């Protein structure tokens, strides 16, 4: 995690998403890499059982019924995380060239991207469960599901690391920009905040505010990641917290305002009903994720990895 944080410190000094387009491309390529490797390994494992589907329709058996309920809620949070891209959608749209219009390109990209993502996730989830049944780990590549071929598993894990490096920047750059903008507006005359220095001979621009603020944020997130190394639980909590407000509420509100849908119309009620259902999902997933974090903390040691 320390090495990961150091990489992020270096990459965070790039001005914006425009400057890390290459990193985004690499992240996408590596995501395809580890995804298809995981799918292939699960399919091979399933085939080794002569096509016999492991597991049961009701899922894993547990001694305490509420534990299973919490596991279901945690799974909802992990699913929600897969669709929390709305906070970077506008930033990505700003990097597109026109013509055609950026919003049309983004709408088409979102449609195909969501469709492909959903189909692939369902395919991988079903294949993985068919291969491992109730013993399926939370993380196929690091949950001791596969030992051979070790070189292929290692390649997949390297792809995961590279993908996470790129994904961190894609999600963090808009946050950096927003915080820096707020600080600059709050203290417009402060030299430390608005100054930019150029380091020769490479003529590298160094902004003290950017250097300090981004370093603090990355150090904080790295420390939290080391203190709470619970992959599925933290992923579920992030997904649950971001799903309803960013992926549902604000887009629905903007859609209603843009099309001037009047309160009380059938479309208005349908949109509000969808938003309310998604709110319940976010709340439920948050409960499941927090419960799992609390449960893991009882047996966890700081700065030790966990599933």
pTM of the model: 0.72
Task: Confirm whether 29 is domain-assigned.
Answer: yes
Examine the pLDDT at 43 and tell me if it is beyond 60: yes
- Position 216 in a domain: yes
What domain count does the chain have? 1
Q: Using 50, 70 and 90 to split pLDDT, how confident is the model at 276?
A: very high
Residue 255 clears pLDDT 70, i.e. is over it: yes
- The whole-number pLDDT of residue 200 equals 67
Question: How sure is the predictor about 11, in pLDDT bands with cuts at 50, 70 and 90?
Answer: confident
Residue 273 — very low, low, confident or very high, per pLDDT cuts 50/70/90?
Answer: very high
DSSP 8-55: HHHHTTS-SGGGGHHHHHHHHHHHHHHHHHHHHHHHHHHHHTTTPPPS
> Is residue 61 domain-resident?
yes
> What token pair was written down for 149?
């071929």
For the stretch 177-201, pLDDT in tens is 888 888 888 887 777 777 777 766 6
**DSSP assignments along 64-98, one per residue:** SHHHHHHHHHHHHHHHHHTT--HHHHHHHHHT--S
Res. 91: pLDDT tops 70: no
Q: Per the domain annotation, does 302 fall within a domain?
A: no
Is 304 part of a structural domain of the chain?
Answer: no
- Is 248 a member of any domain? yes
pLDDT exceeds cutoff 90 at 121:
no
Strand partners, 205: 198
pLDDT tens track for 197-228: 776 665 567 778 888 888 888 888 888 878 77
CA 133 vs. chain centroid, Å, equals 25
Q: What is the pLDDT of residue 261?
A: 87
Least confident window among 113-122, 134-143, 275-284 = 134-143
pLDDT for 102:
74
Q: Is residue 307 part of a domain?
A: no
Give the tokens for residue 8.
């992020």
Is there a contact between 209 and 192 (Cβ–Cβ < 8 Å)? yes
Range of the domain at 249: 2-297
pLDDT band at 302 (very low <50, low <70, confident <90, very high): low
- Least reliable range by pLDDT among 145-149, 171-175, 193-197, 244-248: 145-149
For the segment 61-78, the average pLDDT, to the nearest whole number, is: 75
Q: Which residues contact 144 (CB under 8 A, 6 or more apart)?
A: 137
pLDDT at 290 over 90: no
Instruction: Give 39's contacts (C-beta < 8 A, 6+ positions apart).
Output: 120, 123, 124, 127
Find out whether the peptide bond into 201 is cis, omega within 30 degrees of 0: yes
């Amino acid at each position: 995690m320390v090495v990961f944080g150091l990489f992020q410190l270096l990459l965070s000094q790039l001005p914006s998403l425009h400057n890390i387009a290459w990193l985004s491309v690499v992240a996408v390529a590596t995501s395809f890499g580890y995804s298809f490797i995981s799918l292939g390994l699960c399919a091979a494992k399933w085939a080794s059982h002569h096509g016999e589907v492991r597991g049961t329709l009701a899922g894993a058996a547990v001694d305490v019924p509420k534990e299973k309920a919490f596991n279901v809620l945690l799974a909802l949070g992990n699913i929600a995380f897969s669709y929390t891209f709305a906070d970077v959608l506008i930033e990505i749209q700003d990097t597109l060239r026109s013509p055609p219009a950026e919003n049309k390109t983004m709408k088409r990209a979102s449609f195909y991207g969501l469709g492909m993502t959903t189909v692939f996730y369902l395919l991988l989830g079903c294949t993985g469960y068919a291969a491992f049944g109730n013993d399926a780990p939370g993380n196929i590549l690091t949950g001791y599901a596969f030992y051979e071929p070790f070189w292929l598993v290692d390649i997949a894990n390297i792809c995961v690391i590279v993908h996470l490096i790129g994904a961190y920047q894609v999600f963090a750059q808009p946050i950096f920009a927003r915080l820096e903008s707020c600080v600059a507006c709050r203290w417009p005359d402060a030299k430390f905040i608005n100054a930019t220095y150029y380091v020769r001979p490479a003529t590298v621009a160094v902004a003290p505010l950017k250097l300090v603020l981004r370093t603090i944020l990355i150090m904080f997130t790295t420390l939290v990641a080391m203190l709470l190394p619970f992959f599925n639980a933290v992923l579920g909590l992030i997904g649950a917290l971001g799903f309803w407000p960013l992926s549902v509420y604000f887009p629905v509100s903007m859609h209603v305002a843009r099309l001037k849908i009047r309160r009380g119309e059938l479309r208005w009620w349908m949109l509000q009903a969808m938003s309310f259902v998604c709110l319940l999902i976010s709340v439920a997933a948050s409960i499941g994720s927090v419960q799992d974090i609390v449960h893991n903390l009882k047996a966890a040691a700081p700065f030790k990895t966990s599933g």
